[in-house]
Chains A and B, each alone.
Chain A
């Protein structure tokens, strides 16, 4: 049996005198869909931020594919294949869908110039193939013109295209 994709081992997190999480343990396997439910202030956001590398645990640790891991920043979790999709902060409204999909992962020439046609063609394929989003006919559409659901779908399409193993819609 393969190791869980993500495993939290007795993780606690305190912010000064406030304990946000106490001894949290759970695991997520390949193909699992897991919902994290709780009251306001239960620590859901803190748990997601710990998995995303935004916070570091006060005690306990995280394992990815059975390997003990210590994320120091969000880039570490992205390298491990984790994509956190924040509700309101995932996309730039003043950008097209193409530019949002390739934000910070632009396809460029040797000197950093954008290969715009290549990015547009791939974005079209992503929208047609990976995640079907109704109501979007062109990857050049500005994200500010999309509905909330369409925006989240674009963020998920981006994560799927970049082959993330774990998606954390938030």
Chain B
């Protein structure tokens, strides 16, 4: 989103790469080999979406909507509508699903990845180019930034991180289901918008996104604890996306006035 493009396929990529990893492990491949394969496949899927978007000059919204459906179907084609158990061994489980001081490893991974992306986006040349590409692609291109390459990298990172999320979730639960990850892309967009990321690209921060994620999950947990029906959550996320987008849009308009 920061580079000015959307990726709606991450929920499907998350499931596809998790199923791929779990079936490889079930076929006696070490989880330490299967997990990187899953991440590489996620990156390649993201790059493919980026290449199609840029090659044909299409909105990424449409290309990745196609990706969402395609990779959801690919999950069923690859392994059918069956749950896959994931039993990677104690070392892998400890690293991705263990606990330290009573806190799950997924939390530490999230913090570490958020910190790494904070540095990459806010303190590295690449991040500068991502913001420039999203903020004003014409100016970025005119000054010599290869905006196509930046966008393809961004798509690759989105795919790779969707796969990483799949690994963390699958390690924690110990199995993966074909229906997993549905609606994840909307939650991701909601977290970004709540965190102050501009829908046009070029504005936003990792800290804002992390806070957006925490807010969504806190309210989700509260709704679950209140035993509210599942559709409350969907309605809540929908309202949150629209309200946050309207607020962001208002702030941007006031800023440019």
B36 in the interface (beta carbon within 8 A): no
Q: Is the CB of A92 within 8 A of B125?
A: no
Q: A93-B136, A94-B203, A144-B255 are in contact. Are A114 and B144 (CB under 8 A)?
A: no
Q: How large is the interface on B (under 10, 10 to 19, 20 to 34, 35 or more residues)?
A: 20 to 34
Q: B126, A95: Cβ atoms under 8 Å? A: no
Complex contacts, B139 vs chain A, CB 8 Å = 86, 89-92, 103
Contact A90 B142 (CB under 8 A): yes
Complex-state Cα separation, A144 to B124, whole angstroms: 22
Q: Which of B12-48 contact A (CB under 8 A)?
A: none
Output the nearest chain B residue to A85 by Cβ-Cβ distance. Answer: B142
Is A112 interfacial (CB 8 A cutoff)?
yes
Q: A86-B142, A92-B140, A144-B256 are in contact. Are A103 and B132 (CB under 8 A)?
A: yes
Return chain B residues, CB-CB under 8 Å to A145: 255
Cβ proximity bits A72-99 to B, threshold 8 Å, 1 near / 0 not: 0011001000001010011111110001
Q: Across the interface, which residues of B come within 8 angstroms of A113, CB to CB?
A: 119, 123-125
- Complex-state Cα separation, A17 to B145, whole angstroms: 32
Find out whether the CB atom of A94 lies under 8 angstroms from the CB atom of B202.
yes
Closest to A112 in B: B125
Question: What separation, in Å, do the CA atoms of A133 and B142 have in the docked complex?
Answer: 23
Taken together as a complex, chains A and B put the C-alpha atoms of A103 and B137 apart, in Å, by 12
B103 part of interface (Cβ distance < 8 Å): no
Question: Known contacts A92-B131, A114-B125, A116-B123; is A104 also within 8 Å of B136 by CB?
Answer: no
Residues of A with C-beta under 8 A to B255 = 142, 144-145
Residues in B neighbouring A90, C-beta threshold 8 A: 139, 142
Residue picked from B119, B128, B138, B145, most chain A C-beta under 10 Å:
B128
- 10 smallest CB-CB distances across A and B, nearest first, come from A89-B138, A92-B135, A94-B135, A92-B136, A112-B125, A94-B202, A94-B203, A104-B143, A104-B144, A106-B125
Residues of B bordering A, CB below 8 Å: 119, 123-126, 128-129, 131-132, 135-136, 138-140, 142-145, 198, 202-203, 255-256
